[in-house]
Amino acid sequence: MYRLLLLVTLLSTSLSAQNKLEGWVTDPHGEALAGVNIYLKGSFIGTTSDADGYFKLADLKPEGILVFSMMGFESVELALQNLDFAQKQKIQLKEAFNKLAAVTVNAGSIEVSDKKQSVVLRPLDIVTTSGALGNIIGALNTLPGTANNANDGRLFVRGGAADETAIFIDGLRLGNAYGSSLNGIPTRGRFSAQIFKGSFFSTGAYSAEYGQALSSVLSMNSLDFPLRRQTDLGISTVGGSLSHTEVWDRQSITASLNYTNLSPYMALVPQNLEFTKAPQGISSEILFRQKTGKHGMFKAFYSFQNSDLGILRSQPDSNALQATKLKNNFHHLNLNYRQNIGKKHLLDGGLSFTGNLDDIQLDSLAIQQKGQLVHAKIRYQYFPAARISIKSGLEFFDQLYREKIQIGARQQDDLLGAAFAECDYHFSSDFLIKVGLRSSINQSSSYLMPRASVAYRLNLKSQFSLAYGDYVQEQASNIRIQDVDLRAAKAQHLVLNYMYSTPKLTFRLEAFQKNYHELLRSNAGYNTNGKGYARGFDLFLRDRSSIRNLDYWISYSFVDSKRHWQAFEGQVQPRFAPRHNASIVAKYWLGGLQSQVGSSFSINDGYTYDNPNLAGEMESRTKAFHSLNLSWSYLPRPNLIIHFEVTNLLGRENIFNYQYSSNPGNDGQYSSMAIPQSATRFIFLGIFYTLSTDKNANQLNNL
């Protein structure tokens, strides 16, 4: 009897032990996970892990599926019949991947968007930045990595020339992206910021999707579908504008007309240049959208611009004035289509055409320059899993340049094909690797350009990014027309970025190295034996919370740039690349006055220039550039804005260069003439009014 009782006891103890399952649950780093739900699938049997990640389940049969689940982690399912109940289990849960919350590469990129917390600027910042005068390029020139060349108006990025930045609309290249102008008269971007929903501005090491830009890419995306039918009217000290939007169920169209004439303004405000014809012009834009299928969209965008101006310019070695006139005619057509194919495929592409004609009269010499650019592109994106995305595409460019002078005419037609592929892989929500390859081929050469980047997030607020890329850019058309066999210029980018971001505070620190090869030399004919470099770092701080109603940002860039190019015998610092650039931008909302006051201050350490009276090359530097700008936007009614703005409020006499005589005087010295701003200040007053039956449509959208 005793032996029977002992046997029953041992058997029951053994069965009890076999029906008990225990162990620990951890994350991939071995840290205990508390509160993990552990249950038998299809039953009410279950438990949760304690603070040490420990769990225990009794009275389990060796059959069925045991589930381990916790928010933020991927669930684990285990077949009980495959488990050894006698051993303590060690269960590891992997972090669940959320693409919307996953880390992204910030190295070399600045996003203008309303979509994410990590963006540096939002679309409304473009139109409300003091000193930018509603110009996209003007607002971007307050960001790190850019150099303010106020007498030029284009983008100069990290020691690069203006033509080293490519501008795209809906993924398609925009030719002649800036309004035609004369030396010393700043230009503007072609289009209003209000037709774009967001922008991607890369200051280096950009994606394999883009090419033909040694320094930078600005990619702007037009508005998809407007919210309402409305009409916008504007009148200002420089002209007027009219815009109307019609919206139907699946179509919409926006048309605008703009007229500019600075003659009345220049009659009241003194200018530093003598204008024979004040700048004037007319432009029109039409944007049509058509929804296709459930998630598709077709867009057609057309722009026409016509401008005219003339000046008399002094010469350092002559009492005579040089008369220069410029007439410009510009057309741009952009057709774009995108369509989701199921849940894992996206196909988009388009075709763009840019035509630009400049008629220049230099005293009695007539010059005509005509440029055309056709860009066709198709892009395919595949999302095989949440952690992986693959992007590939094909492109074709046809760039025609024709120039005509009194003694004859010549033209150059360049064809270029390109292909790209890029893959993003998230090892986790905090760790991303992106690799890409771009290839291009023209009539005489082919190139392979690898790109790679990695991002690691330390926590929800801060991350590091590292990016590298090889880039090529064909020589300018007006150079290739003289020597078609010139090889493309090359650059290598390396960018390291740290970013701290909350909804109200952004801090960025970025270091970069850029090496140039095969730059254009013109000392004895043309060749591509030039080289150079640009290195430095950027700082950016934006704060929207420390002081109520105040939004401000501070940017600083240090650039050490040298080039052995053009006709220079040695390496020189380019005139357009000051070593120190800084900007402060502030906006303050005065609720009691229904007003927003804005101010910006830009400074750099001056521009290098070549003084033939001194030994060396580019050995001299102008005095530092300063500009304090002020703006005031007043809303007497929600649909009415009165906007006042003045640039260079303090009237500083900024000098950008010196022009020297062709021959020395009797004293052996070359006479010089300073190149100042075209006007000491620019004063703007505008009134903008919105008409709509929808009461949500108002000018508050523009503040």
The H-or-E segment that residue 10 falls in is helix 2-18
Together in a domain, 124 and 77: no
Other CB atoms within 10 A of residue 152 CB: 19
CA distances from 5 to 14, 19, 35 (A): 14, 21, 41
Together in a domain, 59 and 131: no
| pLDDT at site 113 | 56
| pLDDT at site 456 | 92
Q: Is 118 left (phi over 0), alpha (psi -120 to 50) or beta?
A: alpha
660-682 CB burial, b ≥16 within 10 A, e <16: bbeeeeeeeebbbeebbbbbbbb
CA gap 612, 658 in Å, rounded: 11
Q: In terms of DSSP bridges, do strands 109-112 and 165-169 run parallel, antiparallel, or are they unpaired?
A: unpaired
Residue with the bigger pLDDT between 398 and 73: it is 398
Together in a domain, 377 and 428: yes
- CA 610 vs. chain centroid, Å, equals 33
CATH number at residue 66: 2.60.40.1120
Together in a domain, 85 and 198: no
CATH number at residue 113: 2.40.170.20
In a domain, 102, yes or no: no
Together in a domain, 280 and 383: yes
In a domain, 99, yes or no: no
Per the DSSP assignment, residues forming a β-bridge with 357 are 329, 370
Lowest mean pLDDT among 2-16, 21-35, 337-351: 2-16
In a domain, 565, yes or no: yes
In a domain, 308, yes or no: yes
Name the domain boundary from 50, 66, 92: 92
In a domain, 575, yes or no: yes
Together in a domain, 55 and 167: no
pLDDT in tens, 96-113: 776 656 667 677 676 655
Question: Amino acid letter at 697?
Answer: A
| pLDDT at site 126 | 73
Together in a domain, 88 and 120: no
Residues 669 and 637: beta-carbon distance below 8 Å: no
In a domain, 526, yes or no: yes
pTM for this predicted structure? 0.86
- N residues, the chain: 703
Together in a domain, 29 and 113: no
Name the domain boundary from 67, 92, 117: 92
Which residue, 448, 461, 566, 548, is CA-closest to 508?
461
Q: How confident is the model at residue 17 (pLDDT cuts 50, 70, 90)?
A: very low
Residue at token pair 């040695």: 570
CA gap 155, 134 in Å, rounded: 15
Q: In terms of DSSP bridges, do strands 165-169 and 216-222 run parallel, antiparallel, or are they unpaired?
A: parallel
Name the domain boundary from 92, 121, 136: 92
Taking 70 as the threshold, does the pLDDT of residue 608 lie above it? yes
pLDDT in tens, 346-361: 999 999 999 999 999 9
What's the mean per-residue pLDDT of the chain? 89
| pLDDT at site 62 | 81
Across the range 535-546, mean pLDDT stands at 94
Across the range 80-100, mean pLDDT stands at 82
Most confident of 54-68, 215-229, 292-306: 292-306
Taking 90 as the threshold, does the pLDDT of residue 450 lie above it? yes
Across the range 158-179, mean pLDDT stands at 94
- Residue ranges making up the domain that contains 36: 14-92
| pLDDT > 90 fraction of the chain, expressed in percent and rounded | 63
CA distances from 343 to 340, 388, 389 (A): 7, 14, 12
Q: In terms of DSSP bridges, do strands 489-501 and 196-202 run parallel, antiparallel, or are they unpaired?
A: unpaired
Together in a domain, 168 and 268: yes
Residue at token pair 């004919």: 525
Together in a domain, 287 and 262: yes
In a domain, 7, yes or no: no
Together in a domain, 459 and 566: yes
| pLDDT at site 58 | 83
Number of domains composing the chain: 2
In a domain, 9, yes or no: no
Taking 90 as the threshold, does the pLDDT of residue 318 lie above it? no
Across the range 67-82, mean pLDDT stands at 88
Together in a domain, 59 and 116: no
Taking 50 as the threshold, does the pLDDT of residue 6 lie above it? no
